[in-house]
Amino acid sequence: MKKVHIIGLGLLGGSFALGLRKSKPEISITGFDIDTQNQKDALTLGIIDKVQEKADADTDLVILATPANTLAKILIQTLDEVGPETLVVDFGSTKEALCKAVANHPKRAQFLAGHPIAGTEYSGPKAAFDSLLDRKVFIICEMEKTDIHLKAKAYDALEALNMKIRFMDPEEHDRQLAFVSHLSHISSFMLGKTVLDKMEDDRNIFDMAGSGFASTVRLAKSSPAMWAPIVLENKGNVLEALGKYIDCLQGFKQKIESEDFDGLYREMQEINQIRDVLDLGGKS
């Protein structure tokens, strides 16, 4: 692998480039971003060697790291343009609609549907760092639909980044991510809104905020340009997750209203099992 082109020079695209460059300094990396400031920052920070809109004909790997609602159009256009030895990989947080959009494309075998499970609450090339993807999970969907020879290029890059590969169906991916990722961000945004609304009545409320509030609301600092499209692209699954979450909140509220101490205690105690689940997940 000698040439990589990245469309979308934000946190994920930038961190992928920096991590790959650290492991394989000989690789040439070009890139493009609709934001010209991001392009300038990516050059200054050494994320890319050159700004260009399209990949060279002999590019090995094209990475698409743009908002979820832009990926289908960019993917189809990129597949139309690339040469026969180029693999296109997307980093989108939703997979079902995207996979359906290119299901009948004549170059479908040159596409790998991927999703790195990594990120921070910050965005843009200045937020990128070379170890973001280190030992993180990379989900691949519809692996069997990608050309086996081209797929090796993606595996080479993922191995260089020390990532762990998992395989999922697009539908299963979107359904599970709605609960463990998309719902988390919505909850954080809404907690932030609740406290900001309260601040209109009590300007000193943030004086009472400790580390618990800061960690819970951290995701509310995430980019709306990224997360609003994700929520809408995964609308059905997100609404299901939200419905279950609201039911849980209503049940908890009812226990408080009835002063059901034993019920509150038992429910919290049962939920404490999440510690074991998270510890187990961290060891995988």
Domain boundaries, the chain: 3-168, 172-282
Give yes or no for residue 282 having a pLDDT over 80: no
Quick one: pLDDT at residue 89?
98
Quick one: pLDDT at residue 283?
56
Q: How far apart are CA 141 and CA 113, in angstroms?
A: 5
Confidence of residue 146 (pLDDT cuts 50, 70, 90): very high
Quick one: pLDDT at residue 149?
96
Give yes or no for residue 209 having a pLDDT over 90: no
Quick one: pLDDT at residue 222?
93
Residue 40's Cβ-count burial label (10 Å; 0-12, 13-18, 19+) is middle
Q: How far apart are CA 32 and CA 243, in angstroms?
A: 39
pTM over 0.85, yes/no = yes
Domain at 172-282, CATH class: mainly alpha
Q: What is the pLDDT of residues 239-267, one digit of tens each?
A: 999 999 999 999 999 999 999 999 999 99
Confidence of residue 280 (pLDDT cuts 50, 70, 90): low
CATH fold match for the domains 3-168 and 172-282: no
Provide, rounded to the nearest whole percent, the portion of the chain with pLDDT above 70: 95
Confidence of residue 144 (pLDDT cuts 50, 70, 90): very high
Topology of domain 3-168 in CATH is Rossmann fold (3.40.50)
Map tokens 């920052």 to a residue: 41
Whole-number mean pLDDT of the chain?
A: 94
3-state SS of 51-92? ECCCCCCCCCEEEECCCHHHHHHHHHHHHHHCCCCCEEEECC
Q: What is the pLDDT of residues 115-136, one digit of tens each?
A: 999 999 999 999 999 999 999 9
Give yes or no for residue 208 having a pLDDT over 90: no
Map tokens 């990129």 to a residue: 78
143's CB contacts (< 8 A; 6+ apart) are 112, 151, 167
Mean pLDDT of 230-236: 97
Confidence of residue 212 (pLDDT cuts 50, 70, 90): confident
